[in-house]
Structure formats: C-alpha cells, structure tokens
Structure 1
Amino acid sequence: MDEARRWIPYCGEAPGPEAWLSRWNLDPVLGACLLLLAVALWRPAPGPFATTGQRCSLRLAWAAVVVLYVSPLCALSSTFFTVRVVHHIALVLGVAPLLAHGLQGGLSRLPTPLWSSTAVAAACFWTWHAPAPYAAALSSTVVYALMQLTLLASATVFWLAVRRAAPAAAMGAILATTVQMGLLGALLTFAARPLYAPHFASTLSWRVAPLADQQLAGLTMWAPGSIAYLVAAMWIGWRWMRAERAREPDIKPA
C-alpha cells in the first residue's frame, strides 16, 4: 500500500473496482478552460472558424477531452497502464486529427515539414512510454501536463503535415508511424517483466497482474493503434485514386 501511495497522478489515486465509477475529475482549472472553450465553440456568431466542418471537428475534440480527462476514465488510467495507452492513442489518433482539421486555417503559417513532424511525433510517443519519464509524469502534475501537451501538439502538427503533403508522401509518413507504434507495442507485449513502477500495485485490487496489464497495453498499440493508422493511409490512397480518375479525359466511343 505504501508503494502504491507513492504514485498520485493528476487523475488521482488508483481506484478499486468498487469506486472508479464515482471518480469524476472536478479540477476547477480544467473545468474553467473547458467552459470557456465551449462558449467559443457553441456561440451563434461565426467566430474564427472558416467552415461548419471545422467547427464540428473542434466540438468533437472538446467532447473527447471531456471523456478522457473529466469522466471516470481519467481515474481508471491511474490504475491500468492499458487505459493510459488508450488515452494516448485517443489523443494522437482522435483529438489530434480533429484539431488539425479544425485549426488548419488558423495554423496556415505554421511550418510543417512532413518527415521532421513525423520524427518528432514518434520521439514524443516513445519518450513518454519509456519507464522513467512515464513514472515522472505519474508523480507530478506539471510533468503529466507536459506529457499530455507534447503528445497532443506533436501529433497535431504531424496530421497537419499529412494533410498538406502529396498523397504518396503522406501515406509513407503514416506507414512509418504505423511501424514505430507496432514496434513499441511488440516490445511491451513480449517484455519478460513489468516495466512501469506506478502500476506494480495499482492493478492488484482488480486481480490483474501488472505484467498482464502491460501486455494488453502493448497489444492495444500493436493492433488497434496500428490498424487506425493503416485506415488513414487507405483513406488517403482512395481519395488519391478518385482524384486521378476525375482528371482523366472522358473516352468517347467512335
């Protein structure tokens, strides 16, 4: 128990199965920020967003943040490394592309070199899933905020770069990202021992071994995470083929 109490992350102490559904995050700072964003996103005036689609993307991103950081899912991520991984995948594959679409007009002057953006996003993802930085984030609110913001910002810039790149280059960057996420997932899945000290005891009240939790987290990265990137690459390829067919001149029979 003393070891478990060393790790009190932003989402609170790891809850047991009898308490987690009542563990909503009522952080006043986060609540005030979300309220101000809601006023901006749902006000009748057009605001700074160029299209209805962009506004809808930002609203969806806002809703996803509420689910991730206000609902009991936040507290559950203190218990299970797998849920933390789901959080991070939701950030980089859900919230980030929504922000990239919703903010593309406001960020039009932001430089987004494709391969540099890809490398930075991958480096952030690997860094925060290394045991020492991960443990630091779960013992400090400031480091936790840095982890979340850098993951989200680097992924948003990556998706902006993908949107601006030629289709072939965009698919190449996505496939490279798929490979690196799958590799990290495989390393976690086949590790011989648990690596993340904050979860050495947090899963035991659920009768889940920390190594089993880590293996499931690795599989989550390896399969659903990689598949989501592959779907994005396939979508780009499909739109590319449609555009190429539309450019072809109509061939009329003689």
Structure 2
Amino acid sequence: MVDTVWTPYCGPAPAPAEALGRWNGDPALWTVLAAAALAGLVLLRGPARGRYAAAMAVLAVGFVSPLCALSSALFAARTLHHLLLVLAAAPLLALCVARLRRPRLAAATAMQAVVFWAWHAPDLYAQALSHDAVYWLMQVSILGSAVWFWAAVRSARGHAAVAALLAAMLLMGLLGALIVFAGQPLYAPHFASTMAWGVTPMDDQQAAGLIMWAPAAAAYLLVALWRLNGLLKPTDRPAGGAAA
C-alpha cells in the first residue's frame, strides 16, 4: 500500500525543535490580511475599531504564527485553530457589524453546526489538508458561519439567544464526545506526524475531542449564563407613582 503524501497549506508537519520558527510567510496571505485590517480601521469608528483590530490579531495568530504549521502535525492544534476562529475572531467580528433586524437565529445555529461537523468528517478533512483551495473553503466557511451565528445571537431576544447558545454547546460537546470515543484514529493526515511529538494518533485525536467537549462547549455555556443573568435582573420602574 502506498502512503499518501499530505501537502497542507501550512506546510509539512514540523518537528518539535523547528516548530517555533515556522512562521507563515505567504505573501498573498499577508497582503489579504493587511488590506482587510487597513479597510476595517479606515471604515470603522469607536469601539468597533478596537474589536476589529483584535479579530485581525486572532486571525494572524491562526494563519501566520507557528500554530499554522503545528496544525499540520497535530489534530489537537488544528482544533485549537478552528476554535480561535469560532470562539474568538467570529464574535469580535460580529460585534463590528450592525445588529440584524430579523435574525434567523435557528438557521444560523444550524448552519454553524453543519459546517463545523462537515469539515471534521475524516474524508472532507483530508481533502482540506491536500488542496489549498479546499483548505481556504474550510476556513472561510467555518469563520463565516460562526460570524453569522454570533451576529444573530447578539441581535436576538434574551431567551432565544440563550436557547441558541445552549444548542451550540450541546452540538459542540457531542462532536467532541464522538471524536473521543471513536475507538480508532480517524484523521489520516496526522497518522504519521504525531509520534515526533510523543503522542499517538489516537491520543492526539482524543485530546482534540476533549478540547471540543469541555472548554469549547463551556464557552457557549458561559455566554448563555451571562445572557440569562441579564434576563433575571429586576427591571427598574420609573420614579413616581400613578396619578390618583
């Protein structure tokens, strides 16, 4: 049997000794990030400008820093990369857009889950680590669906937003649990790259699943509790009593 040679966008899997030096110098990526950052800083005002700058910094960490190369070696690093998009960059970007008048919250919640689950199907994931165009389709669709979700949550009434956040929490946790208890390694691009890091492909996969199952799912729960706290606070009544 001939082993498949994986050619991920972030380059071949690094050894531990070289990982910290593996910054992404792709000029096309740097041009796009710089142009997007400049456009946002010119067009946005007030707090939105700072949030946008923070979102661009998160994207730079994900795509320029050594995390990009590390995600070629470890599925757990790829999971961290995706969660930076979903739980950091996306909500920051959602805070920069106008509130949606009629947020399609159920559709946004379903779309985010479908996109995230689909790209973690082993065959589709392997395609993304074999072709740059598929890789960028994965990144853009994960980020875009998450921005839609967070924008819809931001614009929705409190009880609906809490329900959507709890649904997202359950779906993220379920995917993580399925990956943890799969019983066998699923992600072929990492079969030959984890041992240099002292972990088996199965250990790496279970670590990734646990990251989704616990801290990632908990992030949605924390936001849901924050929104719920706002619903439970007493509303101050206007001063003065009713006229006799």
TM-score (structure 1 length as normaliser): 0.89
SS for the counterpart of 1:162 is helix
Please list the CA deviations of residues 171-210 of structure 1 after superposition, one character each: whole Å capped at 9, or x if unmatched: 0001001001100101111111100000111111122100
4+ residue segments displaced more than 4 Å: 249-252
Q: Which residue of 2 aligns with 1:194?
A: 185
Could you tell which deviates more after superposition, 233-242 or 23-32? 233-242
1:96-245 to structure 2, matched below 5 A, reads 96-104=90-98, 108=100, 112-242=103-233, 245=234
CA distance change for structure 1 residues 192 and 247 in 2, over 3 Å: closer, same or farther?
Answer: same
Corresponding position: 1:57 with 2:70: no
1:14-93 to structure 2, matched below 5 A, reads 14-42=13-41, 47-49=42-44, 51-93=45-87
- How many residues align structurally? 240
Task: Report how far residue 67 of structure 1 moved.
Answer: 0.6
SS for the counterpart of 2:3 is helix
Task: Output the CA distance in 1 between the equivalents of 2:240 and 2:71.
Answer: 58
Q: Name stretches of at least 5 consecutive residues in structure 1 with no aligned partner.
A: none
Task: Output the CA distance in 2 between the equivalents of 1:195 and 1:19.
Answer: 26
Task: Output the CA distance in 2 between the equivalents of 1:61 and 1:222.
Answer: 24
Task: Output the CA distance in 1 between the equivalents of 2:91 and 2:70.
Answer: 25
Q: CA RMSD in A?
A: 1.8
Task: Output the CA distance in 2 between the equivalents of 1:174 and 1:15.
Answer: 36
Does structure 1 retain, via aligned residues, the 8 Å contact 2:103–2:156?
no
Task: Output the CA distance in 2 between the equivalents of 1:241 and 1:161.
Answer: 21
Task: Output the CA distance in 1 between the equivalents of 2:217 and 2:96.
Answer: 24
Task: Output the CA distance in 2 between the equivalents of 1:154 and 1:212.
Answer: 29
TM-score (structure 2 length as normaliser): 0.93
Task: Output the CA distance in 1 between the equivalents of 2:236 and 2:147.
Answer: 31
